[in-house]
């Protein structure tokens, strides 16, 4: 690993520990020449995952797009940055484990909606409005009614 300070190619690992729930390794290194320390991360290289869009086009999976969609849905809501990051990580993990190198954009959208629904109903409805392309008040109200019915059923006392 090249030292970022003096460009020496020799360094020694001082400390190594797993990060991101074991998906990466953080290594603390010390340059043999200048003695300065720096951190590197080792991560498994993912094979490219292609997203099949509604019109049939294919494009590489972008975790940034997932994060951006979650961020927009949660804007000005009581959802922490850590919660949003965890949701995006779970969606990315599910996307890579779900397909054979390809996944539909609809399936990714469904994964995001499921995550948002578990965290914040308003964020879920915001995302659904864009994702499902609500074009009139009727379809919007149907989605809201479905959400209300699910919440009512979940809150109802269960028979003993």
| Tens digits of residue pLDDT in 95-139 | 988 867 899 999 999 999 999 999 999 999 999 888 877 777 787
Rounded to a whole number, what is the distance in angstroms from the first to the last CA of the chain? 63
Of residues 69, 61, 9, the one with CA closest to residue 33? 9
What are the distances in angstroms from CA 105 to CA 42, 127, 129? 29, 14, 16
CB-count burial class (<10 Å; 0-12, 13-18, 19+) for 97: exposed
The pLDDT score that the predictor gives to residue 105 is 93
Mean pLDDT value of segment 61-72: 96
> Can you give the length of the chain in residues?
160
Instruction: Name the more confident of 20 and 77.
Output: 77
The pLDDT score that the predictor gives to residue 160 is 60
Mean pLDDT value of segment 57-86: 95
The pLDDT score that the predictor gives to residue 99 is 66
What are the distances in angstroms from CA 43 to CA 20, 52, 99, 140, 156? 10, 26, 20, 42, 45
* Domain locations along the chain: 11-43, 50-144
Of residues 65, 110, 112, 104, the one with CA closest to residue 86? 112
Query: Does 146 have pLDDT greater than 90?
Result: no
The pLDDT score that the predictor gives to residue 157 is 65
Phi, psi of 31 (to 5 degrees): -70, 135
Mind listing the pLDDT tens digit for each residue in 10-45?
999 999 999 867 778 999 999 999 999 999 988 877
**Which pLDDT band holds residue 158 (cuts at 50, 70, 90)?**
low
pTM, two decimal places: 0.66
Q: Where are the alpha helices (DSSP H) in 80-136?
A: 81-98, 105-119, 121-131
Strand ranges for the chain from DSSP E: 11-19, 24-31, 37-43, 50-52, 58-60, 102-104
């Amino acid at each position: 690993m090249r030292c970022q300070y003096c460009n020496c190619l020799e360094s020694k690992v001082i400390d190594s520990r797993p990060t991101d729930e074991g998906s990466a390794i953080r290594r603390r290194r010390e340059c043999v020449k200048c003695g300065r320390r720096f951190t590197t991360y080792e991560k498994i290289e993912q094979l490219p995952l292609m997203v099949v869009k509604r019109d049939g086009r294919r494009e590489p999976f972008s975790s940034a797009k997932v994060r951006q969609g979650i961020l927009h849905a949660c804007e000005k809501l009581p959802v922490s940055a850590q919660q949003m990051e965890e949701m995006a990580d779970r969606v990315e993990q599910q996307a890579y484990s779900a397909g054979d190198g390809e996944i539909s954009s609809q399936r990714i959208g469904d994964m995001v909606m499921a995550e948002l629904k578990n965290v914040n109903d308003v964020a879920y409805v915001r995302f659904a409005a864009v994702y499902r392309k609500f074009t009139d008040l009727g379809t919007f109200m149907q989605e809201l009614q479905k959400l209300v019915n699910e919440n009512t059923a979940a809150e109802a006392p269960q028979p003993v």
